[in-house]
Structure formats: C-alpha cells, structure tokens
Amino acid sequence: MKLKFTKMHGAGNDFVVIDAINQQIDFTTAQWKALADRRFGVGADQLLVVEKSTNPSCDFRYRIFNNDGGEVEQCGNGARAFAKFVAEKGLTERRSIAVETMSGIIAPRLEEDGSVTVDMGAPIFDTALVPFDTEGLAGQPEGDDTLWPLVLELAGEKETVLVSVLSMGNPHAVQVVPDVDTAPVELTGPLIEHHAHFPKRVNAGFMQLVNRQHIKLRVFERGAGETLACGTGACAAVVAGIRRGLLDSPVRVDARGGELSIAWAGDGEPVYLTGPAVTVFEGEITV
C-alpha cells in the first residue's frame, strides 16, 4: 500500500506522523520497525499514529511506536507534533485538544508563538505502576522515596548509581551527573534500560544541574537509544529534581536538540511541557 506520512520533530526528537483516520493502517511490529529504520525506511525515533477516539471527551486517540517497533504508553515531544499535525491537516479547528493515549488523557495547546504546551498529567511514584521491582534492593537513602540504588555490572565490575524512579505514563530512571557531556550515557544507558528490576525496560535520564531553574539533560530512551530530546524524560527529570529539593518550578531543560520548559506544582498536580513542534517534509512510501 502507499502510505502518506509527515516527518516532524520536537527539539530534534524525530517522528513519522501518520493520519490513520483517512488511511487504513494495520501494521505488524516488524512493519513499524521497518518504517522507523534510518537506512531501509523513512527513519524516526518514534512513529505517531492519529486515530479517532471512542472516548466522547477526547478529540483524538494517539498511538506511539518506538524505533524498535514496540508500542508504548506516552511521548511528550510527540504530543506537541501531534497537536501541530492535526491543526495543519485541518483535522480540528481547536487550538486546545484532549488526546487519549495508552496511559490516559493528555491536553496539548497550540501557543500564539508557535510552541505547544502539553498537560502531561500527574507523575506516578507507585513502583508497582512504573513498573519497578524493588525486591532485594538495598535500603533507600534518606530524603526522597523515589530514590533507589541500582547496581550495574560493567566488565565484571559492579557500580551503584542512585536513580529517581517514576512514571509519566512511561517508565523513567533519572540520575544527577556532574557534566552531561562526559556522562557515560552510551555505556550505562543500555544497562539501565535493560536492568532486571524494570520488567518493561525503562528510559534512562542523565541530568546536570545548572541552577535551581535550569538543567541540561541527556536521555537514553527505551526502544530508541539516545535521542536529541525526550519530553517525558524532561518531565521526569524536573519532577525528580523538585522532589529531591534541587529544583524550583518552572525549569528550563537544555536537551541536545533544543530547549524545553517544564512546570510542576507538586505531588498530584499535572506536569506541563512546553516546546517546539516542527514539520520537516511530507512523503509517501510503499509498505
């Protein structure tokens, strides 16, 4: 079949966006993976699928597939691209929409300056819901109940890293590092992603504190590897930093591909993610 798609990005986190309202889409994991492949397909960190929602209080349903073909619960940068796509394609006249995802309803809003702000919902700290298996883990350090010691095995050597574990609908493990540019992201990112205590794997965040309202962040994403930006990763990092008493909302997040802004008023409150959404090109591919 001929598939129409739009290539987009949010701070360098890149997407193939597909209108599945006006096209009949029913792909296997292998087909999603092939479409996301940077050599044999279009190439993307994630594939974003636009569907009608069966929920009367939602304008659309939003499905997300990682570069490895796996379907996942949430994508923050993708939510901004999604909102811009449905507006540009005339699928909605509204600038604020409610979108059904695998992990609940999010609410993107198109801003006057072209950026998009998304109500990403409240972070989840219940380890069973992340999911994160705490069985057999050494005691938690004082101060913040999201902090856990994670033992990594590297070439026979054991190293313990302190990570904040939480969910933004998708799982995150965030650590503070002195310098994101020298942090061992390529080395320890995969070890954390595939750590035995994360039954559904996890996104691994590496956060450098610039000041109480500014961080630098790199994320080794589940199912995609290191991306130039990670929206839910930025949300998770700021929530972790605020809970550890290291950050004050709102926080500027410098990702390698661009700047995001995160605001959070505390436990039980939604996290707001603001950033760019860029359309790069339209295309058609035979799949």
Ligand X SMILES: N[C@H](CCC[C@H](N)C(=O)O)C(=O)O
As annotated, the binding site for substrate includes 13, 46, 66, 76-77, 170, 203, 221-222, 231-232
Q: Taking the complex as a whole, how short is the minimal distance between the CB of residue 241 and ligand X, in angstroms? A: 17
Residue among 63 and 243 whose Cβ is closer to ligand X: 63
Q: Taking the complex as a whole, how short is the minimal distance between the CB of residue 178 and ligand X, in angstroms? A: 25
Which residues make Cβ contacts (< 8 Å) with residue 46, sequence separation at least 6? 13, 15, 36, 64, 65, 66, 67, 72, 75, 78, 224
Q: Taking the complex as a whole, how short is the minimal distance between the CB of residue 64 and ligand X, in angstroms? A: 6
Q: Which amino acid is at 68?
A: D
Binding-site entries: 13, 46, 66, 76-77, 170, 203, 221-222, 231-232
- Please pick, among 48, 230, 234, 251, the residue that the annotation labels catalytic: 230
CA nearest 223: which of 189, 268, 269, 173?
189
Q: Is 75 a catalytic residue?
A: yes
Residue among 72 and 176 whose Cβ is closer to ligand X: 72
- Please pick, among 35, 48, 64, 75, the residue that the annotation labels catalytic: 75
- Sign, CA torsion 70/78/234/122: negative
Question: In b/e form, how buried is each residue of 189-223, taking b as 16+ CB within 10 angstroms?
Answer: bebbbebebbeebbbbbbbbbeeeeebbbbbbbbb
CA distance 98 to 126: 25
Residue among 68 and 133 whose Cβ is closer to ligand X: 68
Q: Which residues bind ligand X (CB under 6 A)?
A: 13, 45-46, 66, 72, 75-78, 170, 203, 221-224, 227, 230-232
Q: Is 230 a catalytic residue?
A: yes
Q: Taking the complex as a whole, how short is the minimal distance between the CB of residue 173 and ligand X, in angstroms? A: 11
Would you please indicate which residues are annotated as catalytic (active-site) residues? Answer: 75, 230
